[in-house]
A and B are shown apart, each in its own frame.
Chain A
Amino acid sequence: MQFHSPFEGAWADPETIHTILTGEWRLQRPVTREARCSHCGLCFLFCPNGCVRDRGRHFEADLDFCKGCGLCARVCPVAAVVMVEEEGA
């Protein structure tokens, strides 16, 4: 019998937690055109997954967790975020 957890139930140490990369579910990915980004932070506030990161002068999605819902592109007042089809495996 091969076990992966030292616990009896769904407890986990945050250091070794079994993490699900929700980015694997994505069909489209958001791409931030850095030059157009006004750093207003609306995408950061609206992201339902909480996966938009502040890169200093612009915001962009953490693609490990971004599910590609497109809300960041929809709320961007300067159209800096565009959705691009995922291709390949």
Chain B
Amino acid sequence: MTTATDLRVMDGNKAAAMGVLLCRPDLVASYPISPQTPLLEALYRASAEGRLDAETVEVEGENSALSAAIGAVAAGGRAFTATSSMGLMFMYDAYLFAAGQRVPVVMTVATREQTAPHTVSSGQQDIMMVKEGGWIQIVTESCQEILDSILVAYRLAEDPKIQLPVNVAYDGYYLSHLSEAVRVPEQAAVDRFLAPVGQGKRPVLSAAAPLTFGAFITGDLYTEYRYKHCQALQSALDLVDALDGEFLAAFGREYGGSVETYRAEDAEILMVGMGSHCGTLQVAVDALRAQGVSVGVARLRMFRPFPRARLAALMRGRKAVGVLDRSVCFGWGSGHLFVDVKAAAADLGGAIPMVNFIGGLAGADLRREMLERAVRATAARARGDQGPEVVWLNLE
């Protein structure tokens, strides 16, 4: 059951570094960019002090960082890299290659807005820009969950049936730079948790048994690899739910797999969100519950693959659904999460009143009273009130 843990206070970048160290990577290659840089500094310090037995590659940019990680993984190793915002965009071709070639890299993204307008502040636009890239995307709410999700990420990535790269995303500054209490698991327990994956469980480059890697493919064979990629990605939904139970048994913590709920069982109103502000949302829900508003939260932990069936089941019978977005989906005029949640709601047949709240862009505050307002606005739609489909919280 629960193993001995070390309770410490650390920010999200340190928690991520701690998670990476516990997974014993063979290679770390990364390029500094706010707000993930302190994570890199922590890993390179660990390497300098002999606490990280890994190749640490100093690269000239993010494209090379991910490419170095891809090479290490193809050669049978475990690799880690990290980035944010424009750095993620700069590694876009390597990003697509890693997924299409089925290279199980793990990369954290300390989320940040995209330029322009220029900013380095928090937002989830960067991970949304790559959501169709074929990676698994996990989005976390707390520093503890960052550390824990990195352990799960390697289990998902290196699973022989999946063999896909995984992003573990955490809100820049709100998580990357703010400190919380974090339980650090014992190394032996992490080793046991990761034992089912690792070397020898997937094809590797080796002079003794040569294989080609990344060959030119056309037509039917290309279609076959696309089909296999789609199947593997979708299968991560079941595996992440199963791993949640295994994680609970090993470390005494659980997160609900692909979706975590809060006071949702009997709720007439369901609020859907993703990331650190879901903690604030829970406080808002508690306050409104005390005033008789029947509301609960469904927090998506996995955005790709999208937990369509679980979310549809959670929305069934609700009187209204409110969706919080910290990114903008150009072309729909809403947030990205809203588009996907609406698509999942269509599986239910009947129309549920739905309203989208965009907020928290470029570090704009999502305060408790704003989220309470969002819940009340959603409750008003349940009563038949009319209003805009998309509400911009910070402009009200």
Contacts and interface: CB of A to CB of B under 8 A. Distances in A.
A12 interface: yes
A8 B232 CA distance: 9
B157 to A, nearest CB: 13
Contacts of B232: 8
Contacts of B217: 10, 18
B216 A13 contact: no
B215 A9 contact: no
Contact of B225 (A9, A13, A17, A20): A9
A13 B212 CA distance: 6
The SS class assigned to the A binding surface is loop
Interface in B180-234: 202-203, 210-218, 220-221, 224-225, 227-229, 232
A4 B211 contact: no
A17 B228 contact: no
B163 interface: yes
Contacts of A5: 221, 224-225
Contacts of A13: 211
Given A14-B210, A18-B221, A8 B215 contact: no
B212 A17 contact: yes
A13 B224 CA distance: 17
Interface string A1-40: 1011101111111100110100000000000000000000
Contacts of A20: 216, 218
Interface of B: 100-103, 163, 202-203, 210-218, 220-221, 224-225, 227-229, 232
A20 B232 CA distance: 27
A9 B102 contact: yes
Contact of A9 (B163, B210, B216): B163
A10 B213 contact: yes
Given A13-B211, A14-B210, A14-B211, A7 B203 contact: yes
Interface of A: 1, 3-5, 7-14, 17-18, 20
B67 to A, nearest CB: 16
B163 A3 contact: no
Choose among A4, A7, A13, A17 the residue with the greatest number of B CB atoms under 10 Å from its CB.
A7
Contacts of B228: 3, 8-9
B211 to A, nearest CB: 5
Contacts of A4: 220-221, 224
Given A1-B227, A5-B221, A5-B224, A12 B163 contact: no
Contacts of A18: 215, 217, 221
B232 to A, nearest CB: 7
Given A5-B224, A11-B213, A14-B212, 14 more contacts: A1-B227, A4-B221, A5-B221, A5-B225, A7-B203, A8-B163, A8-B202, A9-B100, A10-B100, A10-B213, A11-B212, A18-B217, A20-B216, A20-B218
Contacts of B216: 20
A5 B221 CA distance: 8
Nearest to B214: A10
Contact of A12 (B100, B202, B212, B218): B212
A85 to B, nearest CB: 26
24 contacts: A3-B224, A5-B224, A7-B203, A8-B202, A8-B225, A8-B229, A9-B228, A9-B229, A10-B101, A10-B213, A10-B215, A10-B217, A11-B203, A11-B211, A11-B212, A11-B213, A12-B212, A12-B215, A14-B211, A14-B212, A17-B212, A18-B215, A18-B221, A20-B218
A46 B338 CA distance: 57
B131 to A, nearest CB: 20
Contacts of B220: 4
Nearest to B209: A13
A7 B203 CA distance: 8
A9 B229 CA distance: 8
B102 A8 contact: yes
A52 B147 CA distance: 56
Contacts of B215: 10, 12, 17-18
Nearest to A18: B221
